[in-house]
Structure 1
């Protein structure tokens, strides 16, 4: 309450004109600025690593299948280590977890030039880097609600998301130029430096420990079961989990096959694919900034699950149109829906998850996303070959619509139950 009172005036707090906490409000908090700087630096390095890794593996293997191996190396650690990472984050303070994860990723990035001639070596280090990220991501997600107020979650997540997308849009072309002119090593060095900067910035971040004082004495398996039990009995978390799974089953295939869609269905060349990515990125970067001006309550179903309907509409357009103009315009809307949905979804997840279980719940959602994405990649490839791309995108539209309907009705029912409980208590 003291912090809220100190930032009560609009000019000091950075509230928007309608009184909601805006981006300036969260940037007034030193802890948030530190977390934001670390996440943005890491995202900048990731832009270089993503481009360099894909091009390097393509050079080593000479096939698109080889490039998908990098994707697999990023997904498998989440499935294997997610439950362990969640317990680690809940047992210890998230800040040391993030710092050690950054240092591990820095070592991996520095080692990549040493194995640049071996596809197996590159896959192994990509696996190790992703394994460290499995611990970093839930720790970072659990930190946000510890350093901002519940009514500032949307603004806080908007700031982090928009910055990450923006630096990737700007730096991805620069990464390609660096690889072309100077080779792969400098790109990986930039990535290593970004992890070093992130670790240094996070070292001085102070966050109240969420777990209980005796958490280190608890057995691991019972704590893991507690996380699964909470996810199963919590109506809002169940609704979000269903939405996460259906969205992953949709996005895995439609995203991976976008380059095929652009070239084969629309008849555009690589420049058309680049334009499509640019339009998606522009929508994704601008969406959260606009969202933070109008929304502070993450529990509103229209803003959590409405973006699913927008993305479903885009997939429906892509399934039936042959017009490049219409398709590319729809993709800008897809980026908008993806980013705004991610911000409100994450904010609601942070608001609803008990502090002592954030690590386990957040990693559970990571596992759900990656598992659904993996299934989608396999089924989508088969559907595309046997039934054609329109069926893939039409199926994606159906899945996203189902996710929106189930999530929307579940969240509204949970709100009614909560309101009835409050009335009964009175």
Structure 2
């Protein structure tokens, strides 16, 4: 099986895929054990939520800066170094837990450092992947990565993390530290070299050799920033690799390129709003399950499993769906699924209806992620892939943070189902606005 996969997508991809699978299991273990560790120290819900917030905060603070350094540095080496450092941070936490010397400040610091590492390693991994496979294989490669993320992070690792914590509070964090070190070793075996920067005089077209002036009217011509001509339409851009400018200038280059690409700009805005709409109701999902569906904690776990099963199906079917229907139909259909999901959850009191729509929603979210990742990796020039990817991640995480805050406030002020109705209405508006621009995806 291993030889077959390596032959199809290449040995380098197989190493990255295995590294991703291992680290995703570790991430899931810590995601389950982290709140349990905080809860063992204090019963304050705000303190438990603080650990999650500490890991998300770096995406808001430094994601754009991280994208600059992903484009400046050797991406493979960056992933290796960051994984080693994250492993060491978790080893310190595990040792503190084992010695009964752990404290809330230490947990917050370690989780913040893990978040900093995520902004660098995840962005670098996303930018490195296209160098390991052919362009026509990106959909398959992304779907395989998504399948291991769903299976390892969402389905297998969560119960494993809880079990390890029950056996010994230090074990899950030691296990996660080990997964980071294993992932670093696997990534070090990847031999794909990062393309070297070349002088501006040696312009290399990324997608097609047609000059910008022949494709965009002079009055609407995109500014060439850091050697990258960002399209003001849906057509490919021509890239020029240049010497690095200042950090601020390079950040602006990534933002400007994304903003001037109609399809990718639409996708970024859609995901920002969609994450607000998603995280608002799902921030109170546990209470919704108890109060609206009249289910116990076991029922809550079953619904989350239904979401994971749908995600696993989406990762498996995504390449076929893209080949059969095309990106525009999948993206438009995904927006409709978002509207229907929030409306059904708002209206139903039947657990089976909620479970069924969550399976469909899980399939959609993973398929959407694979489709969008493939579009980004094909459209964005290599020299800007880190910065543009970090802008997209910044918008996503920012939307999630806003949504989580709003959902709790809305549910507290009105009813437990109001966030779902608000989300459905918001996605109706998003669908109407994005429908035409997504035609060109």
Give unmatched runs, 5+ long, in structure 1. Answer: 1-12, 15-23, 416-426
The match for 2:246 is: 219
CA distance in 1, matches of 2:55, 2:326: 31
> Cα–Cα, structure 1 residues 306 and 95, in superposed 2: closer, same or farther, change >3 Å?
same
Q: Is the 8 A contact 2:72 2:244 kept in 1?
A: no
Q: What's the Cα RMSD here?
A: 2.0
Pair 1:172 & 2:158 matched: yes
Shift of 1:302: 1.4
Shift of 1:397: 1.8
| SS of 2:191 mapped into structure 1 | coil
Structure 1 segment 239-388 matched on structure 2, within 5 A: 239-296=266-323, 300-388=327-415
Shift of 1:212: 2.2
**Structure 1 residues 199-251: Cα deviation after superposition (integer angstroms, max 9, x where no partner):** 00111212342462475642222111111111121111211111111111112
Pair 1:33 & 2:14 matched: yes
CA distance in 1, matches of 2:8, 2:387: 28
CA distance in 1, matches of 2:158, 2:372: 26
The match for 1:120 is: 105
> Cα–Cα, structure 1 residues 331 and 411, in superposed 2: closer, same or farther, change >3 Å?
closer
The match for 1:78 is: 59
Shift of 1:306: 2.0
Q: Is the 8 A contact 2:32 2:158 kept in 1?
A: yes
Structure 1 segment 178-197 matched on structure 2, within 5 A: 178-181=164-167, 183-197=168-182
| SS of 2:417 mapped into structure 1 | helix
Q: 1:52 pairs with 33, 38, 46, which one? A: 33
Q: What TM-score results when the alignment is normalised by the length of structure 1? A: 0.87
> Cα–Cα, structure 1 residues 43 and 357, in superposed 2: closer, same or farther, change >3 Å?
same
Q: What TM-score results when the alignment is normalised by the length of structure 2? A: 0.84
Aligned length: 392
Pair 1:88 & 2:69 matched: yes
CA distance in 2, matches of 1:79, 1:294: 33
Shift of 1:53: 0.4
Q: Is the 8 A contact 2:9 2:137 kept in 1?
A: no
> Cα–Cα, structure 1 residues 211 and 59, in superposed 2: closer, same or farther, change >3 Å?
farther
| SS of 1:389 mapped into structure 2 | coil
Shift of 1:312: 2.0
Q: Is the 8 A contact 2:289 2:300 kept in 1?
A: yes
CA distance in 2, matches of 1:61, 1:297: 52
The match for 1:391 is: 418
CA distance in 2, matches of 1:188, 1:167: 16
Structure 1 window deviating more from structure 2 (107-116 vs 312-321): it is 107-116
Q: 2:427 pairs with 392, 396, 400, which one? A: 400
CA distance in 2, matches of 1:160, 1:368: 22
| SS of 2:395 mapped into structure 1 | helix
CA distance in 1, matches of 2:255, 2:365: 27
Q: Which has the higher helix share?
A: 1
CA distance in 2, matches of 1:234, 1:275: 41
Q: Is the 8 A contact 1:32 1:148 kept in 2?
A: yes
CA distance in 2, matches of 1:198, 1:122: 23
CA distance in 2, matches of 1:160, 1:322: 35
The match for 1:3 is: none
CA distance in 1, matches of 2:121, 2:273: 25
> Cα–Cα, structure 1 residues 328 and 297, in superposed 2: closer, same or farther, change >3 Å?
closer
Q: Is the 8 A contact 2:283 2:408 kept in 1?
A: no
Q: Is the 8 A contact 1:138 1:363 kept in 2?
A: yes
**Structure 1 residues 278-335: Cα deviation after superposition (integer angstroms, max 9, x where no partner):** 1011111111201223424996211134223212211110011111111122111121
Pair 1:199 & 2:156 matched: no
Give unmatched runs, 5+ long, in structure 2. Answer: 200-241
